[in-house]
C-alpha cells in the first residue's frame, strides 16, 4: 500500500507526455478553426474606404463559415489543414515544455511551503506564468513558421524547413524566428489564467477528487479557456500580426512590436479590430481545452495504473527473492555462509 501511494503523483515527464499528447489530439481535431481564426486576425483594411482583405487569397471573410467556404473553394479541403505538421509539432513541444515545468515549479512551491494546501489564485497564476515563459523561449520558432504557412497563398506556401529559411533570409536573420517573443511572454498569462482557473474551479467544484470524469474535465477546461481568451484576445491578435507577413498598407515593412500592431489595427479598424476572430478563437480554445483536459486526465490515469502495475510486479519479484533467500537460510545455504 505504501508503494501504491507513491505513484498517485506523476513525475514531471509523465505530466508532460500526458499534456502534450492530449494537446496534439485536441488540436488535430479542430485544426480548421485554427486556420480560420488566424486568417481573420491578419485580415486588415487596405484603406478606410475599402473592405478587409486577406493576404492569403485576397478575399474578404465575413464570418467563420464564410472563411471555411472560401478557403475550400480556393485551396480545396487541404487548405483547411495548411501548416498542420508544423502546428502539431509546435503544440506538442509547447505543451510538453509547459506541463513539464508547471509540474516542477508547483512541486518546488509545495516543497518550499511544506504544505499540501492548494495555493491561492495569485500564486497559481504566477506558477503557470513561470512555466509558460520557459516553454515559450524554446518553442516560439515553430509558432512563427506555422503562422507564416497559414497566412500565405497556396502558391507561396512552402514546407516547414523552407518557410523557416525564408523567415531567416527575409527578416532579421535567426532572430526572426523569435519574432513576437515579447508578445508571447506577455501571453503566458493566457495559459496561466487557463490552468489557474481550471485548478481553482476543480478545487471548488470537485474538492478532494483525484480523477475527473471526461465530461467534468471537458467542462472545466472549456470554461477556463473561454475566460482566458476573452481577457487576452487583443494580445493574441497582435502576436499573429507580428508573425505574419505585413499588410499591404505597410508596403512590406514588418511590425517591430505588438504595441505597433495594436496601434495600426485601432487606426484602421477601431478598437473592435483588436477582437477580430474572437468567435473561432473562443470556439477553438473551448474545444481544444475541453478535449485536452479530458484526454490528459485519461492519459494520466493510464500512467498511474501502469506505474502501479510495474511497482506491483517489482514488489512480487522482490518478495520471491526474499522468500528464496529465507528458504536457503533455513537449509543452511553455503552462499549465505560466505
Tell me, what's the pLDDT at 50? 55
The residues near 156 (Cβ < 8 Å, ≥ 6 apart) are none
Domain ranges for the chain, please list them.
2-308
- Extract the residue ranges of the chain whose pLDDT is less than 70: 1-10, 45-58, 121, 171-172, 191, 332-338
Tell me, what's the pLDDT at 51? 56
Tell me, what's the pLDDT at 335? 47
Alpha carbons 81 and 197: distance in angstroms, whole number: 31
Q: How far is CA 95 from CA 187, 255, 296, 331, in A?
A: 14, 27, 11, 57
Instruction: Locate 296 and state its grid cell.
Output: 490528459
**Nearest CA-CA partner of 128 in 190, 67, 180, 75:** 190
pLDDT tens-digit readout, 300-324: 777 777 777 777 888 888 888 887 8
- Residue for grid cell 478553426: 33
Q: Report whether CATH 1.50.40.10 matches the domain 2-308.
A: yes
Q: What residues pair up with 31 in beta bridges, in sequence order?
A: none
Tell me, what's the pLDDT at 92? 85
**Nearest CA-CA partner of 126 in 157, 102, 95:** 102
Tell me, what's the pLDDT at 179? 79
The residues near 314 (Cβ < 8 Å, ≥ 6 apart) are none
Tell me, what's the pLDDT at 7? 35
Helix 121-150 and helix 31-42: axis angle, to 10°?
Answer: 80
Amino acid at each position: 500500500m505504501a508503494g501504491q501511494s507513491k505513484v498517485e503523483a506523476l513525475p514531471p515527464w509523465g505530466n508532460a507526455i500526458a499534456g502534450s499528447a492530449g494537446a496534439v489530439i485536441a488540436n488535430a481535431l479542430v485544426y480548421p478553426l485554427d486556420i480560420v481564426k488566424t486568417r481573420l486576425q491578419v485580415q486588415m483594411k487596405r484603406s478606410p474606404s475599402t473592405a478587409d482583405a486577406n493576404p492569403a487569397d485576397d478575399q474578404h471573410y465575413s464570418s467563420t463559415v464564410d472563411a471555411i467556404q472560401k478557403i475550400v473553394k480556393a485551396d480545396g479541403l487541404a487548405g483547411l489543414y495548411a501548416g498542420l505538421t508544423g502546428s502539431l509539432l509546435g503544440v506538442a513541444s509547447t505543451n510538453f515544455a509547459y506541463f513539464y515545468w508547471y509540474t516542477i515549479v508547483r512541486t518546488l512551491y509545495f516543497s518550499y511551503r511544506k504544505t499540501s494546501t492548494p495555493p491561492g489564485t495569485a500564486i497559481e497564476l504566477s506558477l503557470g506564468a513561470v512555466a509558460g515563459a520557459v516553454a515559450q523561449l524554446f518553442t516560439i520558432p515553430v509558432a512563427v513558421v506555422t503562422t507564416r504557412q497559414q497566412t500565405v497563398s497556396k502558391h507561396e506556401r512552402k514546407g516547414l524547413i523552407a518557410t523557416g529559411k525564408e523567415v531567416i533570409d527575409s527578416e532579421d536573420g535567426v532572430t526572426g524566428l523569435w519574432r513576437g517573443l515579447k508578445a508571447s511572454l506577455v501571453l503566458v498569462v493566457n495559459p496561466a489564467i487557463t490552468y489557474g482557473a481550471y485548478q481553482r474551479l476543480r478545487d471548488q467544484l470537485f474538492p478532494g477528487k483525484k480523477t475527473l470524469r471526461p465530461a467534468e474535465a471537458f467542462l472545466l477546461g472549456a470554461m477556463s479557456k473561454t475566460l482566458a481568451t476573452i481577457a487576452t484576445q487583443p494580445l493574441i491578435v497582435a502576436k499573429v500580426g507580428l508573425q505574419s507577413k505585413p499588410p499591404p498598407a505597410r508596403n512590406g515593412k514588418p511590425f517591430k512590436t505588438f504595441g505597433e500592431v495594436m496601434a495600426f489595427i485601432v487606426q484602421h479598424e477601431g478598437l473592435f479590430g483588436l477582437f477580430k476572430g474572437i468567435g473561432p478563437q473562443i470556439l477553438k480554445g473551448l474545444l481544444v481545452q475541453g478535449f485536452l483536459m479530458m484526454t490528459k486526465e485519461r492519459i494520466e490515469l493510464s500512467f498511474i495504473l501502469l506505474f502501479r502495475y510495474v511497482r506491483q510486479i517489482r514488489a512480487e519479484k522482490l518478495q520471491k527473492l526474499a522468500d528464496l533467500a529465507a528458504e536457503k537460510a533455513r537449509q543452511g545455504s553455503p552462499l549465505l555462509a560466505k
